A and B are shown apart, each in its own frame.
Chain A
Amino acid sequence: MGLMHEFTKGLWKDLAPFRVVLGLCPVLAVTKEAETGLGMGIGVIFVLTCSNIIVSSIRKLIPRQVRIASFIVIIASFVTMVELFSQAYFYPIYQKLGIFIPLIVVNCIILGRAEAFASRNGVVASALDGLGIGLGFTMSLVVLASIREILGAGTIFGIDIMWESFRPFTFMAEAPGAFISLGLLLGIMNAVSKTSQS
């Protein structure tokens, strides 16, 4: 129950970015298409899980004063790995994500989990925590990106799904659509969690 809980809490109770409002920049920027959203999510899962494992396994060796700097170096190393790997094997997605791959470094969710969870808990729990939070984050990205892609282009993962006379509203594919659809989704999540509590 204990370890399983570390994994499942990221999927609903601490679902990023809706229940824990952190790391909004990539959420807004890469959700124009479902494919880029998924790519970003997988990158975050990898970085978050690996950095959580490393941080928790050396947590007793890091002096308190320099812990944030050490966390940043650990995270940056894994981000560089993701960057080089995607450049080599997934070049189209690498190009679409652009500067948002190196910017995973400053995603507050990752540093937040290192500081709040991995630096205080064991390796297995931290790995499960990273996997759960990362998976939740990916789900949110894919859901938001699918909504925007369906309404903004009439496709999902590049496949046409809408009827023939459907006119895509470009508004959803541009910046204002990103802000407003995330805002509304956040509102819906708030309303749903209120009713499920009462």
Chain B
Amino acid sequence: MQGLVWKFGDDIDTDAIIPARYLNTSDPQALAKHVMEDADPTFPQKVQPGHIIVALKNFGCGSSREHAPLAIKAAGISCVIAHSFARIFYRNAINIGLPILECPEAAEKIAAGDEVRVDLNSGTIYNLTKDETYQAAPFPSFMQDIMDKGGLIGYVQWRLQQQ
């Protein structure tokens, strides 16, 4: 996947990703209309399918709302790269099949507006704008299995079939 980067700072919390005032619905498209708006009000209008979010540490901290990764995914974001993720956001993203990569170097060096190409299997991140390559740890195979089955629901269906 390849796309233009939106850059965010430290500790972007789930209230910034999708404020509670919009949580009276769980429709991903409705949520996507307000995604990231408290962090950057222009984001919901300007984000395009394929764009990539790059953030610093502790992205997605705060509540357990799966609405956060759902809204990001529904907005068309193809991948989120961060220095680190809050743990519930991390598992939610895997469970719903939103690609995410932890890579401190990429999080530091990639700037807003850079064009970036990501290879999830190898964890390689190539910055076309700066001609730099960064290496993230690829997913553990357990999590790769979940991702390969389209998320946790597919994984559970598969497990039930095995029984």
Decide whether A and B assemble into one complex: no
A interface with B by C-beta (< 8 Å): none
